[in-house]
Amino acid sequence: MQVKAIHQFVEGFQRFQSKYFSGEETLYETLNIGQNPSTLLIGCCDSRVDPALLLDCDPGDIFVIRNVANLVPPCNEAGNQHGVSAAIQFAVEALEVQRIIVMGHEKCGGIRALMQGYKPRSKIDFIGPWMRIVEPVKQQVLQQMPSSSVAAQNRACELLAIALSLKNLTSFPWVAERVANGKLALHGWYFDMSEGALLAYSERSDGFLPMVCPLNVG
């Protein structure tokens, strides 16, 4: 696959400009006043799974947090810098989003690194500590699926990591309060890249069920 030259990104912005800044009434005339997204989406920073492209969203539709493996850390009041937690708080308290979607995907590099035993290349390492958020999920998969293939174990970990992130969301008091009051809904989605399908977490079945089936399945 040919690497895109920088001018192709400039041309891409020009197409964006033509779409959203031309005409008498433009979308950004409204967005310049402020944003009012109804949804917070927590996705992976993998270049293959841009949430706005996957969900065909316009600017302003979704407030997006992207990180390695689409993880949500548990609420931690220690005086460190918490980028993900700060963005969650802003989306819930300031923007008053109505739903939060944790969207994972197949063939996640972060999950693969976790399952295979990540070895940092330098003394300063941020990936290993970050992925330890879902270390309990890794141990659960290895215990329950010791004879399964690496691909099957990775997929199971990808799915269970979404469920754990949903649980971690409720450790934030402003999330838990709004969920309890019916003002906020939590969703777990999984993009199957091989099939081009979308799965959704079902709390009732404690598993993922098809929400959008592959095109060849009618």
Determine the Cα–Cα distance for residues 218 and 214; give it in Å rounded to an integer.
8
Whether 81 shows a pLDDT value over 80: the answer reads no
Q: Confidence class of residue 1 from pLDDT cuts 50, 70 and 90? A: low
Q: Confidence class of residue 117 from pLDDT cuts 50, 70 and 90? A: confident
- The DSSP code for 190 is E
Determine the Cα–Cα distance for residues 131 and 183; give it in Å rounded to an integer.
30
| pTM score of the predicted model | 0.94
Helix (H) or strand (E) holding 198: strand 197-202
Whether 100 shows a pLDDT value over 60: the answer reads yes
What pLDDT does residue 13 have? 95
CATH level 2 (architecture), domain 36-212: 3-Layer(aba) Sandwich (3.40)
39-44: strand order across its sheet: 62-67, 39-44, 99-105, 185-192, 197-202, 207-212
- For residues 96-124, give the mean pLDDT: 94
Please report which residue ranges of 21-122 form alpha helices under DSSP H.
27-31, 51-54, 83-89, 109-116
What pLDDT does residue 114 have? 95
Output phi, psi for 192, to 5 deg. -85, 100
Determine the Cα–Cα distance for residues 40 and 186; give it in Å rounded to an integer.
10
Residue that is written with structure tokens 């949804």 in the block? 39
Whether 71 shows a pLDDT value over 70: the answer reads yes
> CA nearest 40: which of 204, 194, 166?
166
Parse the chain into domains and list their residue ranges.
Answer: 1-34, 36-212
What pLDDT does residue 77 have? 83
The answer to whether residues 70 and 43 touch, using CB atoms and an 8 Å cutoff, is yes
pLDDT in tens, 177-195: 999 999 999 999 999 999 9
Reported as half-sphere exposure (CB side, CA atoms, 13 A), residue 182 has a value of 0
Determine the Cα–Cα distance for residues 104 and 210; give it in Å rounded to an integer.
14
Pairing of strands 185-192, 99-105: parallel
Residue 188, classed as helix, strand or coil, is strand
- For residues 78-105, give the mean pLDDT: 94
pLDDT in tens, 22-43: 887 889 999 999 999 999 999 9
What pLDDT does residue 204 have? 92
What pLDDT does residue 29 have? 92
52 Cβ neighbours under 8 A, 6+ residues apart: 61, 62, 64
- For residues 96-123, give the mean pLDDT: 94
- For residues 151-168, give the mean pLDDT: 98
What pLDDT does residue 136 have? 96
Tokens of 193: 């890249």
